[in-house]
Amino acid sequence: MAMTARQRAKVSLYVQAGIFVVAVAALILATDWKTIGNSVFNFAKIGPMFPDIFLIGLKNTLIYTALGFIVGLSGGLLLALMKLSSFPLYRWIATGYIEFFRGIPALLVFIAFGYGVPLAFGVQWNVTIVVMISLGMVAAAYIAETLRAGLQAVPKGQLEAARSLGMPQWRAMVSIVIPQAFRIVLPPLTNEVILLTKDSSLIYVLGLTASQYELTKFGRDGISSLGAGLTPLLVAGAFYLVITIPLSLLARKFESRSARTKR
């Protein structure tokens, strides 16, 4: 039976759709809907989570993320400039830092700054400081690489034009190169914020007072106190999406804008 290329494509499409339908049907049949209804979609019992998960949890997640991002952005910019420096020692330090913090789980960093460092130096840090440092230091490693790529994406002629107008290196960086690099890295930077938002949940390893709870902590607490199974985590997850999906859309908007114009 001879088929044209178009016919073959059509048949292949039908086959793929068929497989998809069968897979979904099998999944639905195999699911224990009664148990799931009780332990995952049990929305009748989650009333007590409100309004605190919104007023405290969401608020704290946003605060922790913002603090981590501020530290991460400043640290990342410093590291990126060090990595591009002509002074080898700076490059080595930056490379070492970046590889180290990208290579270990963020959870370990939280534990180190939550328990290890305070013990070792006999200091008392409140949770906000620990989150800011832990999230910030991990974020700095990732953001540094993003910014370095952005800085290198600015054509060399820009720096040369600025220098030939008599600008010192730092001024040329501040007024000419960094503003352009920033526009280039806006989409990946927005993605960093999404990652940070989720990483802020790692704070659960620290001892928190009620006013310091963020979304995941509310979810975990709900599991043990509400008798609605995993439903509270589902609620917490929904709140994350409320933050991350708009960010994702924003990143896409930045992307299409920078594709249209270099401004």
Partner 1 sequence: MNDVENNARNTAVHAAGVSLKDLRKSYGSNEVLKGISLEVSPGEVVCLIGPSGSGKSTLLRCVNLLEQPNEGTIHVGGFEATNPDVDIDKMRRKVGMVFQQFNLFPHLNAQQNCTIAQTKVLKRPQAEADKVARANLERVGLGHLADRFPDQLSGGQQQRVAIARALSMDPELMLFDEPTSALDPETVGDVLSVMRNLAKEGMTMLVVTHEMGFAREVADRVVFMDGGVVVEEGVAEQVISAPKQSRTKEFLKRVLDPTHIDISK
Nearest to 84 by CA among 31, 7, 151: 151
- The gap from C-alpha 136 to its chain's centroid, in whole angstroms, comes to 12
Please identify, among the stretches 41-49, 78-86, 136-144, 164-172, the one whose residues bind partner 1 according to the rule CB under 8 A: 164-172
Q: Is 261 in the site for partner 1 (CB under 8 A)?
A: yes
Query: Could you give the C-alpha distances from 161 to 155, 175, 176, 262, in angstroms and in order?
Result: 10, 12, 9, 17
Is residue 257 near partner 1 by the rule CB under 8 A?
Answer: no
Give min distance, CB of 171 to partner 1, in A: 6
Of these, 18, 96, 105, 155, which contacts partner 1 (CB under 8 A)? Answer: 155
**Interface with partner 1 includes 263 (CB under 8 A)?**
yes
Window 175 to 234, contacts with partner 1 (CB under 8 A)? 175-176, 179-180, 183
Q: Is residue 9 classed as helix, strand or coil in its secondary structure?
A: helix
- Could you say whether residue 157 binds partner 1 (CB under 8 A)? yes
DSSP structure class, residue 174: I
Q: Of 37-45, 81-89, 174-182, 209-217, which part binds partner 1 (CB under 8 A)?
A: 174-182
Q: Which is nearer to partner 1, 38 or 158 (CB)?
A: 158
**Helix (H/G/I), strand (E/B), else coil: 84:** coil
> 191: which residues sit within 8 A by CB, 6+ positions away?
248, 251
- Position 135 contacts partner 1 (CB under 8 A): no
State which of residues 38, 158, 244, 248 lies at the interface with partner 1 (CB under 8 A).
Answer: 158
Residues in the interface with partner 1 (CB under 8 A) total: 21
CB proximity list for 235: less than 8 A, separation 6 or greater: 46, 49, 53, 219, 222
Span interacting with partner 1, options 58-66, 143-151, 161-169, 236-244, rule CB under 8 A = 161-169
Distance CA 108, CA 131 (A): 12
Interatomic CA distance for residues 194 and 1, integer angstroms = 52
In whole angstroms, the minimum distance from the beta carbon of 183 to partner 1 comes to: 7
Three-class SS of residue 4?
A: coil
Q: Could you tell me which of 131, 1, 134, 155 has the C-alpha nearest to residue 61?
A: 131
Q: CB under 8 A: which stretch of 59-67, 91-99, 171-179, 244-252 binds partner 1?
A: 171-179
CB of 162 to partner 1, least distance (A): 8
The identity of residue 172, as a single letter, is A
Nearer to partner 1, 167 or 234 (CB): 167
